[in-house]
Amino acid sequence: MSVLASAGIFGSVAQAAQDDFVRPAVDWHALAPDLVVVGVLCLVLVADLFLPDDRKGVLPSLAGLGLLGALVPVLTLAVDGADRAMFGGAYAVDNFALVLKALFLVAGYVTVLMSTNYIAEGDYAEGEYYFLLLASILGMTVMASARDLITIFVALEMLSIPAYLLAGWRKRDRKGNEAGVKYYLMGVFATGILLYGMSLIYGVAGTTQLAGINEALATGESVPVISLAIVLVIAGFAFKVSAVPFHTWAPDTYEGAPTPITAFLSVSSKAAGFVALLQLVVIGFAGQTEVVRPLMWALAALSMTIGNVVALRQTNLVRMLAYSGISQAGFILAPLAVVGQIGDSTLTSVVTYLLIYAAMNLGAFTVVMAVARKTGSAEITSFGGLINYAPSLAVLMTIFMFALAGIPPLAGWLAKFVAFRAVIDADTGAAYTLAVVMAINSVISLAYYANVAREMWMNPAPDGDETPVRVPFSLRAALTITGVLTLAFGVTQWATELGDVANFVASTTP
């Protein structure tokens, strides 16, 4: 399926939930990534209390180094290789959880890099900002290991409440206030729907454990209360991933929030929502695929189509990326529309897409921030003539745009390829129809991504101003990380596929 899958990084979450784990009372090694984040969070809070104002610049360094430090136990757990579970199976550490913890930690580190100058120069409270950012990341790392409805909900609130505050961080800006209020009100509404659905599931299954819910619903009988519960739970998480028709908060929130937080919400918060959806669909609702598949099919098709069509009309690059994210959510949801028909391919394709999407989207937002430092605008026209006065930024933005469009050999092609193949492998009429919708939307998306590239390469700079763009070190570091990952994911797999084709041709040539 992909380099990641062939390397054995992903296991079967459903199988892991039912197999015997190593079950010590408290496995401190398994908890180490989360505990490191907790320690750094407390360190940032205490440091902010005692550091004078002219020394607050050390806070992003503490936050960033702490997130990198949390990667160390992730790597040691991966080398150890044993699946672990605690608290009666409510918290598990397996390959699936480790890959996603690494995703959240690296995405959080890139967000800290993006935030360093933005927060320091914007007269914002630095200590509170990084404290809330780390708190949200902690909720995400817990979500990666959650295997119980209560744990999932606690992790969801841990990541969401700080995000509500961060979205409205620009308190003196009307759009910033609108972003925070809209995100909060819609989030609370979605949480109520989610909790009602979870309560119905608990009433039917008699347990909050995902594996126990799987057993209780494994009969395949879809009584109305079960169908209603599944619809409500999926709708609650569809809000987090900004799937249509639960997407209305995203464009205004993305535009009004601080740009680093916009990038963070579009990648990390969305990925956390997909993690919860994956665990519920693959484990908890495995016996109710006749309810799940049509719902996921509709969400995927609507999100791809409406997100793309509305993105075509956007003149603001941040709003365009918001609708692009809605469309990308549709592609990520597509393999869930054939869950239970293609084995572990659903899990592999979704997680692969999340990893690649994180690199592409964070990179695109970093370029937006770098250019906005000069132009003070996120309008697409403000990128005119970028190739003349900031050629490296223009080249990187072109890479990120065409990667998001799925053009080989950039990483986006691999993300779309694994999603397409997962859907087609289901070999049903509904799957083939969804594959056609995916193909059409891939072509549509190229129009607005290419429009950004055309503006940078072919149009003149606004007002003829071609003074160079000063890019701070932290943004250069973020661009380096995201650019290397975007190229590495795609080029490596592209070379592998070309090698397979060459070997096939050589073996069939007389």
- Token pair for 276: 């919860």
Distance CA 71, CA 126 (A): 24
Q: What is the mean pLDDT of residues 465-474?
A: 84
Q: What is the pLDDT of residue 409?
A: 85
Judge whether 259 and 326 are in contact, CB under 8 Å.
no
Q: What is the pLDDT of residue 342?
A: 67
Judge whether 449 and 405 are in contact, CB under 8 Å.
yes
Choice between 18 and 181, residue whose per-residue pLDDT is larger? 181
Q: What is the mean pLDDT of residues 367-386?
A: 88
If one counts every other C-beta atom within 10 angstroms of the C-beta of residue 376, the result is: 8
pLDDT range class, residue 140, cuts 50, 70, 90 = very high
**3-state SS, residue 169:** coil
Most confident of 20-24, 145-149, 406-410: 145-149
pLDDT at 143 over 70: yes
Choice between 305 and 16, residue whose per-residue pLDDT is larger? 305
Percent of the chain at pLDDT exceeding 90 = 47
Query: Which has the minimum average pLDDT: 108-117, 141-150, 175-184, 217-226?
Result: 217-226
Q: Kindly tell me the sign of the dihedral angle through the C-alpha atoms of 398, 399, 401, 406.
A: positive
Sole residue written with tokens 């936050």: 63
pLDDT at 14 over 60: no
Q: What is the pLDDT of residue 178?
A: 84
Q: What is the pLDDT of residue 509?
A: 53
- Token pair for 27: 């496995």
pLDDT range class, residue 10, cuts 50, 70, 90 = very low
pLDDT at 504 over 90: no
State the Rg of the chain over Cα.
Answer: 22
Q: What is the mean pLDDT of residues 434-463?
A: 91
Q: What is the pLDDT of residue 306?
A: 94
* Closest of 407, 329, 336, 417 to residue 1, by C-alpha: 417
pLDDT range class, residue 467, cuts 50, 70, 90 = confident
DSSP string, 359-390: HHHHHHHHHHHHHHHHHS--BGGGGTTHHHH-
pLDDT at 422 over 50: yes
pLDDT digit string, tens, across residues 305-323: 999 999 999 999 999 999 9
Round the average pLDDT of the chain to a whole number and report it: 85
pTM for the predicted model, two decimal places? 0.90
Q: At what angle do helices 411-424 and 391-405 cross, to 10 degrees?
A: 0
Query: Which has the minimum average pLDDT: 35-49, 81-95, 263-277, 400-414?
Result: 81-95
Judge whether 108 and 24 are in contact, CB under 8 Å.
no
Please state the domain extents for the chain: 3-503
DSSP helix, strand, coil percent of the chain (3-state; round to 5): 80, 0, 20
Judge whether 218 and 286 are in contact, CB under 8 Å.
yes
Helices (H), 146-173: 149-167
Cβ neighbourhood burial of 274 (10 Å; 0-12, 13-18, 19+)? buried
Q: What is the pLDDT of residue 12?
A: 45
